[in-house]
């Protein structure tokens, strides 16, 4: 199996608290992978280690054959005085793209914001900002895309639009690593999922495999999640 992400015995401490506790899991190239857990389970810390923001205290992480990733964190950090076009052009240039103008236009079109290219981000709705954040995350055509709550706070139509776009991106070969509390959305999008709690891996597999693990053969992901994290 060609792996996009390999996590081995990952541990991260904050003082005496283990935010991540001997975590091991693999994500196959091209997978749409869900990464789940209650608040404080260690999800964000794990993602920050995988993406190079934090260093682990123990263990190791391998990301792809080439380190080409995109990240859409829960906290977006927009430069709201910039227009959408200026913002994406800025990030395209940071990646050294020689066709930054073309890439900016392509990504604005992909997220449905071509008509807003010259509008300031500070005037955008939350849903429009989510689209800009996604465009920024894929501005370098990443092989692996990390998403933390990409549809949080969006209305149903906005959620559906983002889900359609993510399916398209994944269908074109990008591995997607999704962290979200919207479990129905995760069940719809993801082929495999990991559930962690207190920094430890609780379950890993397809929805059918998680049902077997929880001994809940006809249940949805929410019931499985609650049983596995409250047991």
pLDDT tens profile 160-218: 888 998 999 999 999 999 998 889 999 999 999 999 999 999 999 999 999 999 999 98
Give the position of tokens 């990952």. 10
Give the Cα separation of 170 and 165 in Å (integer).
9
pLDDT score, position 231: 62
The share of the chain scoring above pLDDT 70, in percent, equals 96
Structural contact between residues 108 and 114, judged by C-beta atoms closer than 8 angstroms: yes
pLDDT score, position 159: 85
Q: Who wins on pLDDT, 65 or 131? A: 131
The share of the chain scoring above pLDDT 90, in percent, equals 64
Q: Binning pLDDT at 50, 70 and 90, where does residue 65 land?
A: low
Please write down the HEC assignment for all residues of 81-97: CCEHHHHHHHHHHHCCC
Give the Cα separation of 209 and 186 in Å (integer).
15
Q: Binning pLDDT at 50, 70 and 90, where does residue 2 land?
A: confident
Give the Cα separation of 141 and 73 in Å (integer).
17
Tell me the two tokens of residue 223. 């019931």
Lowest mean pLDDT among 52-61, 122-131, 171-180, 207-216: 122-131
pLDDT score, position 29: 92
Lowest mean pLDDT among 16-30, 33-47, 53-67: 53-67
Domain range summary for the chain, segments of one domain joined by +: 1-68+144-155+175-231
Mean pLDDT in residue range 123-144: 89
pLDDT score, position 123: 94
Q: Who wins on pLDDT, 71 or 174? A: 174
Q: Which residues contact 19 (CB under 8 A, 6 or more apart)?
A: 12, 13, 42, 45, 199
pLDDT score, position 73: 61
Structural contact between residues 111 and 140, judged by C-beta atoms closer than 8 angstroms: no
Mean pLDDT in residue range 37-63: 91
Q: Which residues contact 169 (CB under 8 A, 6 or more apart)?
A: 138, 145, 176
pLDDT score, position 88: 94
Q: Binning pLDDT at 50, 70 and 90, where does residue 37 land?
A: very high
CATH architecture of 1-68+144-155+175-231: 3-Layer(aba) Sandwich (3.40)
Give the Cα separation of 30 and 176 in Å (integer).
7
Would strands 192-197 and 200-205 be described as parallel, antiparallel, or unpaired? Answer: antiparallel
pLDDT score, position 74: 58
Give the Cα separation of 136 and 64 in Å (integer).
20
The backbone region for 194, taken as left when phi is positive above 0, alpha when psi lies in -120 to 50, beta otherwise, is: beta
Considering the chain, what is the average pLDDT of its residues?
90
pLDDT greater than 90 at residue 95:
no
């Amino acid at each position: 199996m060609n792996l996009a992400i390999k996590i081995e015995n990952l541990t991260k401490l904050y003082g005496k608290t283990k935010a991540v506790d001997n975590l091991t899991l693999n994500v196959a190239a091209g997978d749409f992978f869900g990464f789940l857990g209650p608040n404080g389970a260690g999800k964000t810390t794990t993602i920050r280690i995988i993406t190079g923001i934090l260093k682990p205290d123990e263990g190791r992480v391998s990301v792809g054959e080439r380190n080409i990733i995109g990240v859409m964190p829960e906290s977006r950090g927009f430069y709201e005085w910039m227009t959408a076009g200026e913002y994406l052009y800025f990030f395209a240039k940071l990646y050294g793209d020689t066709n930054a103008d073309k890439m900016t236009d392509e990504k604005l079109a992909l997220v449905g914001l071509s008509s807003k290219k010259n509008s300031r981000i500070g005037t955008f709705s939350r849903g429009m900002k989510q689209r800009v954040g996604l465009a920024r995350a894929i501005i370098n055509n990443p092989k692996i895309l990390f998403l933390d709550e990409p549809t949080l706070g969006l209305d149903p139509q906005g959620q559906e639009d983002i889900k359609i776009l993510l399916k398209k991106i994944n269908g074109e070969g990008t591995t997607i690593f999704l962290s979200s509390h919207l479990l129905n959305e995760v069940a719809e999008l993801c082929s495999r999922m990991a559930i962690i709690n207190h920094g430890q891996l609780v379950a890993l597999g397809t929805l059918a495999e998680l049902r077997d693990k929880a001994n809940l053969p006809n249940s949805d992901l929410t019931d499985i999640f609650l049983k596995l994290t409250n047991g």
